[in-house]
Amino acid sequence: MKNKSFGVIGAGSWGTALVKMFSENLNSINWYVRNKVILDGINENKRNLKYLRHVQLNTKKLNVSNDLYKIIEVSDILIIAIPSPYIDSTFENHKDLLKDKIIISASKGVVPKSQLVISQHFHLNYGIKKTNLGIISGPCHAEEVALEKLSYLTVGVKRKALGNYISENLKSKFIKTSVSTDIIGIEYSATLKNIYSILVGISHGLGYGDNFLSVLISHCAKELKLFIRTIHQTKRDINHSAYIGDLLVTTYSTFSRNRTFGNMIGKGYSVKSAMSEMSMVVEGYYATKNAYEITKNKNDDFLFIESVYKILYKGNNPKKLLKEISEKLY
């Protein structure tokens, strides 16, 4: 597999970071930038003036456009870096054009309309073949990529040759990559860690310390393992960076928007007011409802998913729920 053209869809912090990563290896990258102000800033200043502003972009390698049709048409592999709630509003008018494309999701969450993770949504609602779908995931904050701090990513695809091709074009001196065929496991892990990050943020906002948080996160890891095994049984090492590594960085890092959102709720913000204060989409909010619907009729106990659901969607008291959780940990 060679000479496939890449297109990045999205110009937020993660989309910008992905363009930077691919620029290390590719001679040409197609980039869909919806916002004209951001697009003009890239062309005139070689920077995204809204996200990761200090990152200088190699514009000689970039084909930047706010014409989505044009970018899809000239790209063989599409890297999706837009928040999951906007998937349909972005692509629903281009279904026919997407049919033979390779679609790799770099977003983490569920599509609210279908309550499916992104790869499943593209397969069931856009008719994309499973062999043409995949995910890029791992413990990798855009802000650290921008600073060229060593980071790790996993490419999840059904076809190893495709995974290796994407991996080779993604890795660099500051990006280490691996390939996996466990698309669903990795994608749900990337979704669930946002839920657990909200819970950790709530705990921190309520005044719980690192000792408690470490115990809470270790129990969340157990629940993560149980959830993934319940929905998709296959041979996997849950200790791989794409699973536990991603959980740890999202629950501990101050860069985590989901933890920040949870922290605000713990400090007394209502869910609605916390959402309105956030400048970026909180994927964990939508993921919580999806995970709860999957687990509510299962025989196993999914305490943490249920607790976050009760806080976000039922208005339960966070302080009371965390007290109950604290008495069940060990």
What pLDDT, in 10s, does the model give residues 138-195? 999 898 988 899 999 999 999 999 999 999 999 999 999 999 999 999 999 999 999 9
The CATH code that applies to domain 6-181 is 3.40.50.720
Q: Cα torsion at 283, 175, 80, 109 (round to 10°)?
A: -20
- Which 3-state string (H, E, C) describes 81-112? CCCHHHHHHHHHHHHHHHCCCEEEECCCCEEC
CA 108 – CA 51 distance, rounded (Å): 18
Q: Two tokens at 98?
A: 């997407």
CA 220 – CA 213 distance, rounded (Å): 10
Task: Kindly tell me if the per-residue pLDDT of 223 is higher than 80.
Answer: yes
CA 94 – CA 86 distance, rounded (Å): 14
Percentage of the chain modeled with pLDDT above 90:
88
Task: Kindly tell me if the per-residue pLDDT of 245 is higher than 90.
Answer: yes
Asked if 248 contacts 217 with a C-beta cutoff of 8 angstroms, the reply is yes
Topology of the domain comprising 185-326: N-(1-d-carboxylethyl)-l-norvaline Dehydrogenase; domain 2 (1.10.1040)
Confidence of residue 307 (pLDDT cuts 50, 70, 90): very high
pLDDT at 125: 96
Average pLDDT over the chain reads 94
Asked if 87 contacts 16 with a C-beta cutoff of 8 angstroms, the reply is no
Please report, in angstroms and rounded to a whole number, the separation of the first and last CA atoms in the chain: 50
CA 302 – CA 305 distance, rounded (Å): 6
| Top-confidence range, 280-284, 288-292, 308-312 | 308-312
Q: Two tokens at 235?
A: 């041979």
Asked if 280 contacts 12 with a C-beta cutoff of 8 angstroms, the reply is yes
pLDDT at 111: 92
Name, in order, each residue with C-beta under 8 angstroms of 188's C-beta and a sequence gap of 6 or more: 117, 227, 228, 231, 232
Q: Where are the domains of the chain?
A: 6-181, 185-326
Q: What single-letter amino acid sits at 1?
A: M
Q: What is the mean pLDDT of residues 256-266?
A: 96
Q: What is the pLDDT of residues 12-54, one digit of tens each?
A: 999 999 999 999 999 999 999 999 999 999 999 999 999 999 9
Confidence of residue 131 (pLDDT cuts 50, 70, 90): very high
Task: Kindly tell me if the per-residue pLDDT of 279 is higher than 80.
Answer: no
pLDDT at 108: 86
Alpha helices in 171-295 (DSSP H): 183-205, 210-231, 246-252, 257-266, 271-277, 283-295
pLDDT at 234: 82
* Neighbouring C-alpha atoms within 13 Å toward the C-beta of 136: 37
pTM score, whole prediction: 0.92
Q: What is the mean pLDDT of residues 77-93?
A: 95
Asked if 228 contacts 185 with a C-beta cutoff of 8 angstroms, the reply is yes
Confidence of residue 61 (pLDDT cuts 50, 70, 90): very high
pLDDT at 180: 96
- Which 3-state string (H, E, C) describes 268-307? CCCHHHHHHHCCCCCHHHHHHHHHHHHHCCCCCCCHHHHH
Q: Two tokens at 20?
A: 């930077």
Task: Kindly tell me if the per-residue pLDDT of 1 is higher than 80.
Answer: no
Name the packing angle between helices 303-313 and 283-295 (round to 10°): 120
